[in-house]
Copies of this chain bind each other. A is one copy, B any other.
Amino acid sequence: MLLHLSTWPEVEAYLQTSTGIIMPIGSTEQHGPTGLIGTDAICAEAIARGVGETTKALVGPTINVGMALHHTGFPGTISLRPTTMISLIQDYITTLAKAGFTKFFFINGHGGNIATLKAAFSQTYAHLADLNLANGDRVQCQIGNWFMCSEVYKLAKELYGNQEGSHATPSEVAVTQYLYPEAIKQAPLSAEVASGYPIYSAADFRRHYPDGRMGSNPGLATPEHGEKFYQLAVKELSDVYTKFLQEE
């Protein structure tokens, strides 16, 4: 059930059966010479919708832009500052919690979002406690990083070994190829690719990772791989969400 294709009476009815909601969150950031700028949002949205179908859960609107400040040295990247993202997450959760939602499952497509998401959850729990809301201190948030699902990880290792890398990876590129075959890009990819440098400022990042990839060879991706990754992620995160709902 997609929130944007529902009416408010339908949501009111849904709340009688469940107070859980799935929130896809991605990023709008460079993904190397061939990866789509929307990769993280595209993957998170599709997988979240898959989980929604599997579990009959409501799926909220995709947060297309996340915390990608370190990628802003490449054109096309858009980023929130962490404090903006904390306010945004707090606003989302607060307005939904007032309507009765208590279980928020963020299906996430971008590693760079994790720290700020966690900080936002802490800030929000404290905020809700101050509101004298009926279920204020029962609100619970979890992150499901599709790219860290154990089966996804295993398959990526199997297919790509250490050419999976950590940004603009063949696995995420494969998922976008499966979802948008019409947008498969071709561009020369140097065999040598930077890897292993920590992430600091945007300028520093571009100095060390000149084409945007981090140790990855997205040239290995295929739409068929993408379909498998998609299915593995949907299955595993559906289980996680189901357990999350059952947790007291």
Contact = CB atoms under 8 A, between A and B. Distances in A.
Interface in A75-105: 75-84, 86-88, 90-92, 95-96, 98-100
A67 B8 CA distance: 17
- Between A30, A32, A75, A83, the greatest number of chain B beta carbons within 10 A of the residue's beta carbon is seen for A75
Interface string A42-69: 1000000000000000001111110101
B131 A130 contact: yes
A139 interface: yes
Contacts of A223: none
A11 interface: yes
A129 B203 contact: yes
Interface of A: 2-12, 15, 28, 30-38, 41-42, 60-65, 67, 69-70, 72, 74-84, 86-88, 90-92, 95-96, 98-100, 112, 114-123, 125-126, 128-132, 136-142, 180, 183, 185, 187, 197-198, 200-204, 212, 247
What are the 7 closest A-B residue pairs judged by CB atoms, nearest first? A4-B38, A11-B76, A61-B64, A115-B118, A82-B119, A137-B203, A75-B99
